[in-house]
Structure 1
Amino acid sequence: MLKLCWKVLLICCAMLDFAYAESLIAPATEQKTITATLSWGKQVDLSLPASGKLAALKVKVGDRVKAGQILLSLDQRAEKARLSAALTLFKHTKSAYAEAKREAERTQALYEQTLISTHEWQVSQNLLAKTLATQEDSKARISQAKVALDERVLNAPFAGRVAQIHIQAGQAVNNQCQSQALLTLIDDKFMSATAALTLAQWQKLQGITALQLQLADKSSYQAEVVQSGLNPQNNTPQINMHFTPQQRLLPGTQVELILPAIDSMN
């Protein structure tokens, strides 16, 4: 009887050892999905280098705009007056230079015939150089005035949609110390999805160029992997993807990132 008990005990121990060994060999259940957060594919806060009072706001929140389209402008009356003065000055200097050039050509011919002195010839050459310098200065003033005008107009740097407007009509803009965000423009033709990873997940996803995203309604998108690395804020692994939505999605929405099977990644 005692021998039988020992045999039963040995068999039970052997079964327990086998079960334990099998648990070590069997792969642990891996997480198949992780949560990713959506954001706009491109979002830019736009500002101007100039200061002044808002004169015209040509868009509203939600408007779609084309690249180069005027979004808003500051008061330009002073800059337009400077441009007008520079154009008037250029007109006069151009006439003065033309007259000085004719006189220089006349005195050059007389000088070559030894009909005038070297001093008279030199005076005409000096006048020509002076009027030319004045004309070039007036050209520079025109360019500066045009730049000042351009700096008071905000154009869309890319085609997109107006997400936010941070200024009201008549409000003063002061960019002397720090640029003030006037308008937020987004490109919603594509969206970005970002997910935090474990180190093991990050290592297994190396070399993967596309992943699948699943929304709450079970619709899915193929997303292109654009960046995989460390989050600069907390120094943890993360992955960033871009995709083109076929429905209206909002930033901050959480979706499921489907991790590929281990075999497909090997």
Structure 2
Amino acid sequence: MKPMQARHRALAFTLLTLLSGFGAAAHAADAPRPGGLQTLMIRSQANGTMASHDGVVEALRQTVIAAQVAGAIVQLDVKAGDRVKAGQVLMRIDARAAEQAATASEAQAQSARAALQLASREFERQQQLFKQHYISQAALDQAEAQFKATQAQVNAQVAQLGLARTQSGFNIVRSPYDGVIAELPVNLGDMAMPGRALATVYDPSALRVTANVPQSLGASLAGPSRWLIEIPGINTADTPIVPTGAQLLPLVDASSHTLQLRLNLPAKLTGVVPGMFARVLVPGVPGAAPALRVPRSAIVRRAELTGLYVLDAKGAPLLRQVRLGAAQGESVEVLSGLTAGEQVVVDSAAAARIR
């Protein structure tokens, strides 16, 4: 009987051990997340009232000023970011060769004028002699031809002089209109060559936002009042910019099936420059794609990185880069980098401390 009792005791001990293991596993599954982080399950939300399209700020007038003559840059009066007036001198190119060419052309023109005076007097004398029947008609014709040839040479020399003077003016680079120096890729002493870019000027009073929109929106949204503009750092979706004009180019891109939309910005917007990122917001668009929205407190901004903390398979917060869309109140739309059903940490600062 004693061996049988020993077997029963061993079996009971084994069962007790297994039950205690299952209890520990269940306790671990119910353990709170590290640091008590508050999370939010991301769900798709209806987005039938607002659609967003990425765009860029452009200048209606932007000019690349290029050199028309060769020579070293001997004077540079502006730098990038300076405001300039129409006709203001931006830089000067060494003009000694052009000035010498103009001087030579002027001397040749004076010589031609002197020759023309002599030919004119000779022709007058030949006409008087012909009237007195001292010379033949052939001699008179020869004198007239000599006079006309000399006159043609004078016209050619005067035209050459005008060309030389015009080319000497190319050595002075001026601003074509009131604007801002956007780029200055040359320095004092650099060699200017015909066609080389010397400066880029744009007019800050006339800016626009250009974006590509689906062709399905083109027919229904033709007026500027149907579009709104958000420029991060300048305004938000709660205070959008209303464009002063809109233009849909009548050409559909065959690869993306989109139309190019151009929205004119109001004049005198502070801090807006060409190249800035912008969003074109389309209110009242039926059937817009579902949106993923997260609270503003979940967003992490570090230099050029925009992201949020998402729980991985082990429940640990993992920083992930995302691309944001329009903001509405205390929530922000996530365009990419996040999928429905994922857990997002609401307090990004708390998640950073755990990491």
| TM-score past 0.5 threshold | yes
- Which sits farther off after the overlay, 224-233 or 155-164? 224-233
Instruction: Please list, as runs of the form range in 1=range in 2, the aligned pairs for 1:1-266 lying within 5 A after superposition.
Output: 29-34=47-52, 35-175=54-194, 179-205=195-221, 207-210=222-225, 211-216=227-232, 217-218=235-236, 219-223=239-243, 224-228=245-249, 229-230=251-252, 236-243=258-265, 244-261=267-284
Q: Which amino acid aligns with 2:248?
A: Q
Measured in 2, the distance between the counterparts of 1:232 and 1:106 equals 78
Residues 39 and 252, structure 1, Cα contact 8 Å, conserved in 2: yes
Encode CA deviations 1:145-198: one digit per residue, 9 max, x unaligned.
1232233332322221111111111111233xxx22111111111222123323
Change (3 A) 1:122 1:38: closer
Q: Which amino acid aligns with 1:142?
A: L
Percent identity between the two aligned chains: 22
Q: Secondary structure at 2:218's aligned position in 1? A: helix
Measured in 2, the distance between the counterparts of 1:193 and 1:91 equals 57
Residues 48 and 153, structure 1, Cα contact 8 Å, conserved in 2: no
Cα deviation, residue 71, structure 1: 2.0
Encode CA deviations 1:129-153: one digit per residue, 9 max, x unaligned.
2321221221121122123223333
Q: Secondary structure at 2:197's aligned position in 1? A: coil
- The alignment's TM-score, normalised by the length of structure 2, stands at 0.58
Change (3 A) 1:30 1:108: same
Q: Which amino acid aligns with 2:48?
A: E
Select the structure with the greater relative contact order (CA < 8 A; seq sep ≥ 6): 1
Measured in 2, the distance between the counterparts of 1:73 and 1:233 equals 46
Higher radius of gyration, 1 or 2:
2
Encode CA deviations 1:101-141: one digit per residue, 9 max, x unaligned.
12211220221121334454344323312321221221121
Change (3 A) 1:260 1:72: same
Residues 60 and 208, structure 2, Cα contact 8 Å, conserved in 1: yes
What residue ranges of structure 1 are gaps of 5+ in the alignment? 1-27
Cα deviation, residue 256, structure 1: 4.0
Measured in 2, the distance between the counterparts of 1:248 and 1:231 equals 32
Residues 202 and 238, structure 1, Cα contact 8 Å, conserved in 2: no
Change (3 A) 1:81 1:144: same
Residues 165 and 182, structure 1, Cα contact 8 Å, conserved in 2: yes
Residues 51 and 285, structure 2, Cα contact 8 Å, conserved in 1: no
Cα deviation, residue 81, structure 1: 0.8
Q: Which amino acid aligns with 2:84?
A: V
Encode CA deviations 1:59-90: one digit per residue, 9 max, x unaligned.
22222222233322321111111111111121
Change (3 A) 1:180 1:130: same
Residues 162 and 184, structure 1, Cα contact 8 Å, conserved in 2: yes
- The alignment's TM-score, normalised by the length of structure 1, stands at 0.75
Q: Secondary structure at 2:74's aligned position in 1? A: strand
What residue ranges of structure 2 are gaps of 5+ in the alignment? 1-45, 287-355
Q: How many pairs were matched up?
A: 232
